[in-house]
């Protein structure tokens, strides 16, 4: 479409749009949001100026003439963008369209320059979606680069994380300090703020770490869930202090990943209407066109799930259709919106529309012709038209104004709703009120024994009384995992304030959504529960929890062959070893009630690290004398020792339900005159962080006779037992049978631990 035709089309601007007469839901309109009391005004979600100033137009005039106005005496071959009218004569709306068009040209050229300079990167999606990225940051999203963590900002997720150059360029132009021009020049360089995929811990303005496809879709659902939950709890008829939207760009690869389907199903079930998914439908993946492996109608799939679905055929020449799609999204208060945007991967280049554009650099002659197409020939790499910064400043100033208005609303909220405001402030401060840990129960050796999942249930239901942000659920196993929060309702469309989340059988999405909840950074403390064996379904999301510093608590029950009858398909063997290998992930395997309470204390205290709490199905043999909730923070500590001031003859090291077997064995050995130390190694990661002196105190290097006892893989235990020690573990897939019979089959009895210890002690 020639730009002259584009300019003659009537534009439906979001600034002037009115809700349709048949829109019965006037509570949320596409053009207004509620301010408190006398502060009520109407504001648009889009910041297109109603009238352009003469100064503004003059500043752009020469640039636009050079880019778009074609001299009548010439017939230049351009990218079909020239206009056949005088720029001086066009109306404000058409003038703004040309400004936007030129800004997008600048975005694309920065993308090309960054890739060429780095000799690395993924320019294809970034070039194809440049129009959408620019539009979101210039005209739509509410944010303040001067305060990137402002609570009520809109959230943006790039699930197709390989296209991060688009976001980096937009962040730079929008004025985020985290991405300077120099950072664009250091794309993918060691230590740069522009890594090869977006990382929220590296670059302000990045909400979540993405890269593995589909993860961002689940994260976006989690962000939207957090907004809906907090809005339901704290908004008042005269004051909405929680009112923001979540936008996510996904690609063809995301559409293929199962986690996307799981998360999208839940988003529709929950009717998260403030979630907008923008699908970059460029019909290419790395290996070639998607027709190689993908032929389904994605819009039909999302519609069947319950989404409002819209197709935009050509944003490159007509942004009005995208504008209209957004109007539909803002007007729908029952469904999330899926906008299918048909794009050309590698827009402008000779690779345009092919998988070759996905990643890698461009030939020099290709770069030259791209520059010619947008009349960029004479400009140095990384050139930014000065007016582009000023253009983006309009949105920055708008965001700053919105933040000031939000704080005024919050002052009103505090005055009129002091109790709710106090709780909200606790959440915004991290969600941990003073002395919250004192609510955790304590157990004595005389208390009735239970499975550690039972102790966990008691801990959770005490914590929910004092932690306003505790929220979570299970993948259809709440009764088995024992994670239902008593007195709290389910999170559903009719009760967004509920704190029990029903994920159904969707472990992977559960973990990805939990990451989004945690990274909303509003004091919510998400937990996600299932059987330990099914952590494999969740592994990539768990890894991203650790990488992105998301403090999700993973509650994993049925933690060993001790679960019994369900057999090898459900008995975890290698899972603990795999999880312990994840950097920054805290893996707890408590032995009794006190250690379970200690595990929760540490998991909740460490808000920038995820935790796994592995719990037993079967009742433990005893509440062990010597265990301590306080000592869990050290990861490993001495439970009992009859050595006095001398060193023990042997050290028995264990975790979880097997710790009581070691304590029972130690009593047998002590009756025979042996000096025995029993050590609980409840969290390897925390123990390894302790000073060398403390670790030497617990596990003296001069005591070489050591036995580890854990009903799982032996991998990793040699670090603690040493070359002369013995690892008692499980090296096969378990067996179906009553748990005591299964334990006996694999040698997990007091008698067998004692036999192995005697054998080791007999060696000199």
User: What whole-number distance in Å separates Cα of residue 118 and Cα of residue 362?
Assistant: 12
The string of pLDDT tens digits covering residues 379-407 is: 999 999 999 999 999 999 999 999 999 99
Report d(CA 382, CA 280) in Å as an integer.
26
Is position 543 annotated in a ligand binding site? no
Q: Is 282 annotated as a binding residue?
A: yes
Pick the range with the lowest mean pLDDT from 30-39, 467-476, 677-686.
30-39
Tokens of 127: 């070039």
> Per the annotation, does 283 bind a ligand?
no
Contact 467/436 with Cβ under 8 angstroms?
yes
Q: Is 252 annotated as a binding residue?
A: yes
Work out the average pLDDT over 91-113.
Answer: 95
Is there a binding annotation on residue 340?
Answer: no
Q: What is the band of 764 on the pLDDT scale with cuts at 50, 70, 90? A: confident
Is 566 marked as a binding-site residue?
yes
pLDDT reported for residue 333:
92
Amino acid 563: pLDDT: 92
**pLDDT exceeds cutoff 70 at 319:** yes
pLDDT the model gives residue 81? 59
Question: Residue range 70-99: average pLDDT?
Answer: 69
Predicted confidence at residue 46, as pLDDT, reads: 57
The confidence band for 712, taking pLDDT boundaries of 50, 70 and 90, is: very high
Task: Select which of 457, 507, 602, 631 is catalytic.
Answer: 507
Which pLDDT value is given to residue 72? 55
Mean pLDDT over the full length of the chain? 91
pLDDT at 19: 32
Q: What is residue 422's predicted lDDT score, i.e. its pLDDT?
A: 98
pLDDT over 90 at 478, yes or no:
yes
Bridging pattern class, strands 676-680 and 637-641: antiparallel
pLDDT in tens, 440-455: 999 999 999 999 999 9
211 labeled part of a ligand binding site: yes
Q: Which residue has the higher pLDDT, 41 or 365?
A: 365
Which residue(s) pair with 312 in the sheet?
Answer: 341
Residue 13 in this model has a pLDDT that exceeds 60: no
Active site residue 507: yes
pLDDT per position as a tens digit, 22-61:
333 333 223 222 223 333 333 456 555 557 888 888 999 9
pLDDT at 87 over 50: yes
Least confident window among 12-16, 265-269, 337-341, 557-561? 12-16
The beta-strand segments (E) located in 126-245 are 155-158
Q: How confident is the model at residue 524 (pLDDT cuts 50, 70, 90)?
A: very high
Percent of the chain with pLDDT over 90: 87
**Average pLDDT value for residue range 212-217:** 98
Please check if 213 is assigned to a binding site.
yes
Query: 222 CB contacts (<8 Å, ≥6 apart)?
Result: 512, 513, 514, 515, 516, 517, 518, 519, 520, 526
pLDDT in tens, 155-199: 999 999 999 999 999 999 999 999 999 999 999 999 999 999 999
- Indicate if the pLDDT at residue 211 is higher than 60: yes
534 annotated ligand binder: yes
Distance CA 513, CA 216 (A): 9
Within 430-477, residue ranges assigned H as helices are: 452-466
What 62-65 contacts at long range (C-beta under 8 Å, 24+ apart), as own/partner pairs, is 63/102, 63/385, 63/387, 64/95, 64/98, 64/99, 64/102
pLDDT digits (tens, 9 = 90+) for 716-741: 999 999 999 999 999 999 999 999 99
Q: pLDDT tens digits, residue range 576-608?
A: 999 999 999 999 999 999 999 999 999 999 999
* CA–CA dist 647, 654 (Å, integer): 19
pLDDT of residue 611: 98
pLDDT at 103 over 70: yes
Task: Compute the residue count for the chain.
Answer: 764
Report pLDDT for 18.
31
Residue 729, token pair as written in the block: 């573990």
> Which range among 36-50, 98-112, 129-143 shows the weakest confidence by mean pLDDT?
36-50
- The H helix count followed by the E strand count for the chain is 27, 18
* Residues above pLDDT 70, as percent of the chain: 91
Q: pLDDT band for position 83 (50/70/90)?
A: low
- Range 582-615 burial, b when 16+ CB lie within 10 A, else e: beebbbbbbbbbbbbbbbbbbbbebbebbbbbbb
**Tokens standing for 576?**
């603990």
Q: Residue ranges of the alpha helices (H) in 642-683?
A: 659-671
pLDDT of res. 51: 78
Are 326 and 308 in contact by the 8 Å Cβ rule? The answer is no
pLDDT, average across residues 86-105: 89
Determine if residue 123 is labeled as part of a ligand binding site: no
Q: What DSSP line would sit under 560-628, residue for residue?
A: SGGG-TT-TTT--SSHHHHHHTSTT-EEE---SHHHHHHHHHHHHH-TTS-EEEE--SSBPS-PPTT--
Dist CA 262 CA 475 (whole Å): 11
Residue 75 pLDDT level (bands cut at 50, 70, 90): very low
Tokens of 426: 């606790």
**Is residue 358 scored above 70 in pLDDT?**
yes
Q: Does 318 count as an annotated binding residue?
A: no
């Amino acid at each position: 479409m020639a730009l002259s035709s584009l300019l003659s089309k009537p534009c439906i601007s979001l600034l002037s749009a009115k809700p349709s007469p048949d829109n019965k839901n006037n509570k949320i309109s596409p053009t207004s949001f509620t301010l408190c009391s006398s502060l009520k005004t109407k504001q648009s979600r889009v910041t297109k100026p109603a009238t352009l100033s003469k100064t503004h137009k003059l500043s752009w005039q020469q640039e636009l003439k050079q880019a778009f106005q074609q001299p009548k005496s010439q017939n230049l071959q351009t990218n079909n963008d020239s206009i056949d009218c005088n720029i001086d004569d066009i109306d404000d709306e058409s003038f703004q369209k040309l400004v936007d068009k030129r800004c997008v040209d600048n975005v694309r050229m920065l993308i090309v320059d960054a890739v060429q300079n780095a000799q690395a990167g993924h320019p294809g999606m970034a070039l194809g979606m440049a129009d959408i990225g620019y539009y979101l940051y210039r005209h739509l999203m509410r944010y303040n680069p001067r305060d990137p963590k402002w609570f009520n900002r809109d959230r943006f997720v790039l699930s197709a994380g390989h296209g991060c150059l688009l976001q980096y360029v937009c962040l730079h132009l929008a004025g985020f300090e985290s991405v300077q021009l120099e950072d664009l020049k250091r794309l993918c360089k060691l230590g740069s703020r522009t890594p090869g995929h977006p990382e929220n811990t590296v670059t302000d303005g990045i909400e979540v770490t993405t890269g593995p496809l589909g993860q961002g879709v689940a994260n976006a659902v989690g962000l939207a869930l957090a907004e809906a939950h907090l809005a339901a709890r704290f908004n008042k008829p005269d004051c909405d202090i929680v009112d923001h939207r979540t936008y996510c760009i996904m690609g063809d690869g995301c559409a293929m990943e199962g986690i996307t389907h799981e998360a999208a199903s839940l988003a529709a079930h929950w009717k998260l209407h403030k979630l907008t998914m923008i699908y970059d439908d460029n019909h290419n993946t790395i290996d070639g066109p998607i027709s190689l492996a993908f032929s389904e109608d994605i819009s039909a799939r999302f519609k069947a799930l319950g989404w409002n679905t819209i197709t935009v055929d050509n944003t490159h020449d007509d942004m009005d259709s995208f504008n209209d799609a957004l109007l539909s999204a803002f007007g729908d208060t029952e469904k999330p919106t899926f906008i299918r945007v048909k794009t050309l991967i590698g827009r402008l280049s000779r690779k345009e529309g092919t998988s070759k554009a996905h990643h890698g650099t461009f030939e020099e002659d290709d770069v030259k012709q791209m520059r010619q197409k947008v009349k960029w020939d004479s400009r140095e790499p990384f050139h930014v038209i000065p007016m582009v910064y000023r253009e983006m400043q309009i949105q920055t100033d708008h965001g700053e104004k919105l933040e000031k208005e939000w704080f005024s609303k919050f002052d009103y909220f505090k005055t009129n709703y002091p109790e709710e405001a106090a709780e909200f402030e606790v959440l915004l401060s991290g969600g941990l009120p003073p002395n919250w840990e004192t609510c955790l129960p304590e157990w004595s050796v005389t208390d009735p024994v239970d499975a550690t999942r039972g102790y966990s249930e008691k801990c959770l239901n005490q914590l929910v009384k004092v932690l306003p942000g505790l929220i979570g659920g299970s993948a259809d196993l709440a009764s088995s995992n024992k994670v239902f929060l008593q007195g709290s309702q389910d999170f559903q469309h009719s009760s967004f304030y509920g704190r029990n989340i029903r994920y159904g059988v969707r472990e992977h999405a559960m973990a990805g959504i939990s990451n989004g909840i945690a990274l909303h950074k509003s004091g919510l403390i998400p937990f996600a529960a299932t059987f330990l064996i099914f952590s494999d379904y969740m592994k990539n999301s768990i890894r991203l929890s650790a990488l992105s510093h998301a403090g999700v608590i993973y509650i994993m029950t049925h933690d060993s062959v001790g679960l019994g009858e369900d057999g090898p398909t459900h008995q975890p063997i290698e899972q603990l070893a795999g999880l312990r290998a994840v950097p920054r992930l805290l893996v707890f395997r408590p032995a009794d009630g006190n250690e379970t309470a200690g595990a929760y204390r540490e998991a909740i205290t460490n808000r920038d690290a995820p935790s796994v709490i592995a719990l037993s199905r079967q009742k433990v043999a005893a509440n062990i004398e010597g265990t301590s909730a306080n000592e869990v923070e050290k990861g490993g500590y001495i439970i009992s020792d009859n050595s006095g001031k001398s060193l023990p003859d042997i050290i028995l090291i264990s975790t979880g339900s097997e710790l009581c077997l070691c304590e029972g064995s130690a009593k047998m050995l002590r009756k025979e005159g042996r000096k025995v130390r029993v050590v609980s190694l409840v969290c390897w990661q925390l123990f390894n962080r302790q000073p060398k002196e403390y670790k030497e105190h617990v596990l003296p290097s001069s005591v070489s006779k050591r036995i580890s006892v854990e009903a799982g893989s032996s991998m990793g235990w040699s670090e603690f037992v040493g070359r002369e020690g013995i690892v008692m573990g499980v090296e096969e897939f378990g067996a179906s049978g009553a748990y005591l019979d299964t334990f006996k089959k694999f040698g997990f009895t007091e008698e067998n631990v004692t036999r192995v210890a005697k054998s080791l002690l007999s060696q000199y």
